[in-house]
């Protein structure tokens, strides 16, 4: 069976309501989702976007029309829905969210009974049911029932708290600034941290479907507000979340924002002290600092294609303890094998509390690498041809897990990948030596531009 998907992207189905995500499409696709599950009950939750309540109702209607019972979770962070599916014994779940995408977007993410997004081949199966229109239409007696599930947020908070050493965090008496990004993260995270004795200050703390504070994507360029608040309040740490609360980006006590591979590696280092030899999963684009830290703890790092589902499924298939992405996604298997902004925050607070030193000092101990990013416009229809030509012209040690990763020396690599969602070829590189890295990026950038031009001309 081909794994080419027509509607599901890297993270479920995404689009603009009324344009790509029409009501008719959503209802019929949800009948296909119900038919795929075969039995309920199914838990449906949503993020704070303006279109989310409407889409949630349409999804519930489609699933019920295929004969399955539905419980509505209402507003929840994505990992809250996912953990509740597993913990409360649902046969599956659907989360309405477009994560960090601009406010006009929304999306449909399907999760299995284990709370993790369903595997790629199951997405293809749902698409087949939808395209062939072979979804089940329940008889009037068999239409699914509808109730609301009020235990999701509480279940989620209790689940994450049960994974950390509450006493050691309480003793450290941390001051934390949360940039909640006007997202559903606000429903759980301030409460969990307050219960651990943290002094919590919040910014962008009300849910707003237009994300009018700093937008739904936490990046160093959108987090100056967090940085300033941490410095002016003398906080120990700042944390920012994306639009559905599954990713967390951290700020140290000096107001410096750190990308996810730094803080993820800090956690790998901390957690492998307790479980040396445990397996770590990350994507092909994450910094090699994680490999160096894991090696010190006799652990192996398994690399996957880019995408949180790839990490989740590889963790389950290989019984891994930890997973991470450079965008701030961190996965802790004893809780659930999905990225989770609250779980990540609690683990960082525990690591800080155990250590006792300021956040910035602990980060200083991690291996240092230079990193560079570039991107090139490339029409979607020639992306694959461009990639084949790049592959043909790449020299040295080449990995083809996702895109083309070329190693120039022991610590220097460059990754060239087509974007999954935009007409772009992305270039990303890392090295101990800034000069070697700059030369490599420059060389391959001109190769990419040349290939794109040549193929465009035909
Ligand atoms: Mg997200």
Q: Tell me, what's the pLDDT at 4?
A: 63
Q: How far is the CA of 34 from the centre of ligand 1 (A)?
A: 24
Cα–Cα distance measured from residue 71 to residue 61, given in angstroms and rounded to the nearest whole number: 11
Q: How far is the CA of 101 from the centre of ligand 1 (A)?
A: 9
Q: Taking the mean position of all CA atoms in its chain, how far away is CA 340?
A: 8
* In contact, 110 and 92? CB cutoff 8 Å: yes
Q: Tell me, what's the pLDDT at 394?
A: 86
Q: How far is the CA of 198 from the centre of ligand 1 (A)?
A: 25
Q: Domain 8-152, what fold?
A: Alpha-D-Glucose-1,6-Bisphosphate; Chain A, domain 3 (3.40.120)
Cα–Cα distance measured from residue 322 to residue 314, given in angstroms and rounded to the nearest whole number: 11
Cα–Cα distance measured from residue 270 to residue 434, given in angstroms and rounded to the nearest whole number: 28
Q: How far is the CA of 241 from the centre of ligand 1 (A)?
A: 8
Distances (CA, A) of 36 to 96, 144, 199: 18, 15, 46
What are the boundaries of each domain within the chain? 8-152, 163-364, 370-457
- Mean pLDDT over 189-211 rounds to 98
Q: How far is the CA of 329 from the centre of ligand 1 (A)?
A: 8
Q: Which residues pair with 112 in a beta bridge?
A: none
Residue 5 banded pLDDT, cuts 50, 70, 90: low
CATH architecture observed for domain 163-364: 3-Layer(aba) Sandwich (3.40)
Q: Among 403, 395, 404, 380, which Cα is nearest to 455's? A: 380
Cα atoms in the Cβ-side hemisphere of radius 13 Å centred on 38: 4
Beta strands in 293-367 (DSSP E): 301-304, 322-324, 330-332, 336-339
Residue 1 banded pLDDT, cuts 50, 70, 90: very low
Q: Domain 370-457, what fold?
A: TATA-Binding Protein (3.30.310)
Per-residue pLDDT tens for 130-156?
999 999 999 999 999 999 999 999 999
Helical packing angle, 152-161 and 78-87, nearest 10°: 90
Residue 360 DSSP one-character state: H
* In contact, 427 and 444? CB cutoff 8 Å: yes
Sheet holding 322-324, edge to edge: 301-304, 280-283, 322-324, 330-332, 336-339
* In contact, 363 and 258? CB cutoff 8 Å: yes
Q: How far is the CA of 356 from the centre of ligand 1 (A)?
A: 30
Predicted confidence (pLDDT) at residue 37 exceeds the cutoff of 70: yes
Per-residue pLDDT tens for 59-78?
999 999 999 999 999 999 99
Which residue of the set 30, 66, 84, 99 is catalytic? 99
Q: 90-120 burial, b if ≥16 CB within 10 A, otherwise e? A: bbbbbbbbbbbbebebbbbbbbbebbbbbbb
Per-residue pLDDT tens for 108-136?
999 999 999 999 899 999 999 999 999 99
* In contact, 407 and 431? CB cutoff 8 Å: no
Q: Tell me, what's the pLDDT at 6?
A: 81
Predicted confidence (pLDDT) at residue 2 exceeds the cutoff of 60: no
First to last CA, the chain: 32
Q: How far is the CA of 326 from the centre of ligand 1 (A)?
A: 13
84 annotated active-site: no
- Mean pLDDT over 275-290 rounds to 97
Q: Do you find a cis peptide bond into 226, omega within 30 degrees of 0?
A: no
Per-residue pLDDT tens for 398-443?
999 999 999 999 999 999 999 877 789 999 999 999 999 999 999 9
User: Matching CATH topology for 163-364 and 370-457?
Assistant: no
Q: Tell me, what's the pLDDT at 136?
A: 96
Across 168-177, 222-231, 394-403, least confident range: 394-403
Q: Tell me, what's the pLDDT at 64?
A: 98
């Amino acid at each position: 069976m081909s794994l080419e998907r027509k509607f599901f992207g890297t993270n479920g189905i995404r689009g603009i309501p009324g344009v790509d995500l029409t009501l008719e499409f959503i209802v019929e696709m949800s009948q296909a989702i119900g038919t795929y599950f075969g039995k309920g009950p199914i838990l449906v939750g949503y993020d704070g976007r303006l279109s989310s309540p409407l889409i949630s109702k349409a999804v519930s209607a489609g699933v019920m029309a295929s004969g399955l019972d539905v419980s509505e979770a209402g507003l929840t962070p994505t990992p809250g829905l996912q953990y509740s599916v597993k913990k409360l014994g649902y046969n599956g779940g659907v989360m309405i969210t477009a994560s960090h995408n601009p406010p006009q977007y929304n999306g449909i993410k399907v999760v299995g009974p284990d709370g993790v997004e369903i595997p790629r081949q199951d997405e293809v199966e749902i698409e087949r049911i939808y395209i062939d229109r072979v979804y089940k239409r329940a008889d009037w007696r068999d239409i699914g029932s509808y109730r609301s599930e009020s235990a999701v947020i509480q279940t989620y908070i209790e689940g994450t708290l049960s994974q950390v050493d509450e006493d050691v965090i309480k003793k450290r008496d941390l001051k934390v600034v949360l940039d909640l990004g006007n997202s559903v993260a606000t429903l759980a995270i301030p409460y969990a941290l307050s219960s651990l004795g943290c002094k919590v200050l919040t910014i962008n703390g009300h849910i707003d479907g237009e994300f009018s504070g700093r937008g739904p994507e936490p990046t160093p360029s959108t987090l100056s507000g967090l940085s300033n608040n941490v410095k002016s309040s003398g906080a120990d740490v700042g944390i920012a979340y994306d639009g559905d609360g599954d990713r967390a980006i951290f700020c140290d006590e000096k107001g410096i924002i750190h990308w996810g591979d730094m803080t993820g590696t800090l956690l790998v280092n901390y957690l492998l002290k307790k479980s040396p030899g445990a397996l770590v999963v990350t994507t092909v684009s994450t910094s090699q600092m994680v490999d160096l830290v894991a090696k010190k703890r006799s652990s192996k790092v398994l690399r996957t294609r880019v995408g949180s589902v790839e990490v989740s499924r590889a963790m389950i298939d290989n019984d891994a303890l930890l997973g991470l992405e450079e965008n701030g996604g961190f996965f802790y298997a004893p809780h659930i094998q999905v990225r989770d902004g609250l779980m990540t925050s609690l683990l960082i607070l525990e690591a800080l509390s155990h250590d006792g030193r300021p956040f910035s000092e602990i980060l200083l101990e991690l291996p240092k690498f230079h990193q560079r990013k570039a991107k090139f416009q490339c029409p979607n229809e020639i992306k694959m041809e461009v990639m084949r030509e790049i592959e043909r012209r790449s020299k040295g040690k080449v990995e083809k897990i996702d895109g083309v990763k070329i190693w120039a020396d022991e610590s220097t690599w460059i990754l060239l990948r087509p974007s999954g969602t935009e007409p772009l070829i992305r270039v990303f590189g890392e090295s101990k030596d800034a000069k070697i890295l700059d030369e490599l990026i420059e060389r391959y950038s001109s190769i990419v531009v040349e290939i794109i031009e040549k193929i465009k001309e035909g």
